[in-house]
């Protein structure tokens, strides 16, 4: 399935491989012998997601007899390399489901259609997509895709453990100080029970937990023109110090250095809280859980924030006729009616605010998977996106190493972030 922790940064290919200058648009003519315009969609959907997309394609073909939409299903992890191979051979798909983390690289493929001139049309209702989604689909002055999937982070907590500890469950008014107090109260070394679990393998799974805290403290990853690190600010130190206080001083955090034990330990009653996404809810059948938005930092004007890593439908230019047919299909597929149908059929969060804001829709989603509505409401707290830069994997690596060194008690927040900032600035300057 495509439903996965959105923080994963898939392997990125070199710029040289992406600068496919001189390659033809591929695809040949726009119509087959039957006079229908072909649109080929590459995706990695399986199970309920696959059934839903197949049904939607059938509906579209029935309503548009002059178009024939077909699909090729393969692992989403390999789509970027498959696309590059196809582009070099002059046979790219018309539409492909591609990870948002690939956007800086996708923008360099000449055959990718810049959607800027299309989505500005009123029929698209572009501003109805959540702000973080639109940011993640934008690279410089290009819009390289249309949101296909969105997730976010919130607190998932064990109601029974909170009751046993005699503490009130998380509320929307919680600060990080409240979170720390609760995590400490939930920790019982004799039972090998911890208040919170955090991925501590130094990958992007570690970094995006910190990113949300950084933004809530009022900081940012890079400066406004993406030329220098900004995470080593006072806000960055405040956020990382909070993690240090819980992991090193209170010892209330289970450091998952393999990044493989979260739901297993949560499901067995050994973890009081996870900060995770809606993809984990179906993996918690053995506990009575609740969901609440992330805390805020007292005194910060940034309020509640979270992070999202939207994936996109990317359109390729296979000639004017097929390009227009592909654009039209993507517009229909991502319209509010289809977004609502997809969410209710698959449990995926809605990519459009007009759908997510419907109370009746939230109730239906909760009936299918309790707690989903809180993640839907939390989409309004997606206010920022990670930088759309080719250098981001290097930035993430530097930040991840800094965070883990502090969590393990091997470094102090300010110095660790300064060291990571130096590595970041070297990467941004081409070093």
Whether residue 41 contacts residue 69, with contact meaning beta carbons closer than 8 Å, is answered with: yes
Rounded to the nearest angstrom, the gap between the alpha carbon of residue 250 and the centroid of all alpha carbons in its chain is: 30
Per-residue burial over 192-206, b if 16 or more Cβ lie within 10 Å, else e, is ebbbbbbbbebbbbb
pLDDT by 10s per residue, the chain, length 431: 444 555 555 444 444 344 444 443 344 445 554 689 999 999 999 999 999 999 999 999 999 999 999 999 988 888 889 999 999 999 999 999 999 989 998 999 999 999 999 999 999 999 999 998 999 899 999 999 999 999 999 999 999 999 999 999 999 999 999 999 999 999 999 999 999 999 999 999 999 999 999 999 999 999 999 999 999 999 999 999 999 999 999 999 999 999 889 999 999 999 999 999 999 999 999 999 999 999 999 999 999 999 987 899 999 999 999 999 999 999 999 999 999 999 999 999 999 999 999 999 999 999 999 999 999 999 999 989 899 898 999 999 999 999 999 999 999 999 999 999 999 999 999 87
d(CA 422, CA 419): 5
Q: If one looks up domain 154-307+391-428 in CATH, what number appears?
A: 3.40.190.10
**20-151+309-381: which CATH topology?**
D-Maltodextrin-Binding Protein; domain 2 (3.40.190)
**Bridge partners, residue 147, by sequence:** 312
For CATH 3.40.190.10, list the domain ranges present in the chain.
20-151+309-381, 154-307+391-428
Which candidate, 404, 156, 423, 194, places its Cα nearest to that of 292? 156
d(CA 400, CA 404): 6
Angle between helices 413-428 and 234-244 (to 10 degrees): 130
Reported as half-sphere exposure (CB side, CA atoms, 13 A), residue 141 has a value of 1
């Amino acid at each position: 399935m495509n439903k996965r922790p959105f923080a994963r940064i898939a392997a990125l290919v070199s710029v040289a491989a992406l600068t496919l200058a001189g390659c033809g648009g591929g695809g040949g003519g726009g119509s087959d012998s039957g006079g229908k315009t072909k649109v080929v969609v590459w995706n990695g959907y399986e199970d309920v997601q696959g059934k839903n997309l197949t049904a939607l394609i059938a509906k579209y073909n029935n309503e548009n007899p002059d178009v024939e939409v077909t699909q090729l299903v393969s692992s989403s992890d390999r789509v970027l390399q498959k696309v590059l191979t196809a582009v070099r051979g002059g046979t790219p798909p018309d539409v492909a489901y591609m990870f948002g983390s690939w956007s800086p690289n996708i923008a360099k493929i000449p055959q990718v259609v810049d959607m800027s001139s299309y989505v500005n049309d009123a029929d698209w209702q572009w501003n109805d997509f959540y702000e973080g989604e639109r940011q993640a689909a934008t690279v410089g002055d290009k819009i390289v895709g249309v949101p296909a999937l969105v997730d976010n982070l919130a607190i998932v907590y064990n109601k029974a453990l909170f009751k046993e500890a005699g503490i009130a469950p998380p509320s929307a008014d919680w600060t990080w100080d409240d979170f720390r107090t609760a995590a400490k109260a939930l920790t019982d070394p004799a039972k090998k029970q911890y208040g919170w679990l955090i991925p501590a393998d130094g990958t992007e799974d570690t970094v995006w937990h910190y990113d949300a805290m950084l933004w809530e403290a009022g900081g940012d990853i890079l400066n406004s023109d993406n030329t220098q690190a900004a995470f080593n600010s006072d806000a960055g130190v405040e956020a990382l110090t909070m993690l240090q206080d819980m992991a090193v001083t209170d010892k209330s955090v289970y450091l998952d250095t393999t990044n493989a034990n979260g739901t297993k330990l949560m499901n067995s009653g050994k973890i009081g809280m996870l900060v995770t996404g809606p993809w984990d809810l179906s993996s918690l059948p053995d506990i009575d859980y609740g969901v609440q938005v992330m805390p805020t930092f007292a005194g910060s004007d940034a309020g509640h924030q979270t992070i999202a890593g939207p994936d996109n439908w990317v359109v390729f230019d296979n000639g004017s006729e097929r390009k227009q047919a592909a654009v039209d299909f993507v517009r229909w597929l991502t319209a509010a009616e289809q977004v609502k149908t997809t969410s209710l059929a698959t449990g995926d969060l809605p990519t459009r605010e007009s759908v997510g804001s419907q109370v009746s829709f939230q109730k239906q989603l909760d009936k299918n998977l309790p707690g989903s509505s809180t993640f839907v409401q939390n989409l309004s707290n997606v206010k920022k996106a990670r930088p759309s830069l080719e250098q981001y994997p290097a930035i993430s690596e530097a930040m991840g190493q800094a965070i883990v060194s502090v969590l393990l008690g091997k470094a102090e927040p300010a110095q660790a972030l300064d060291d990571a900032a130096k590595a970041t600035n070297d990467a941004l300057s081409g070093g």
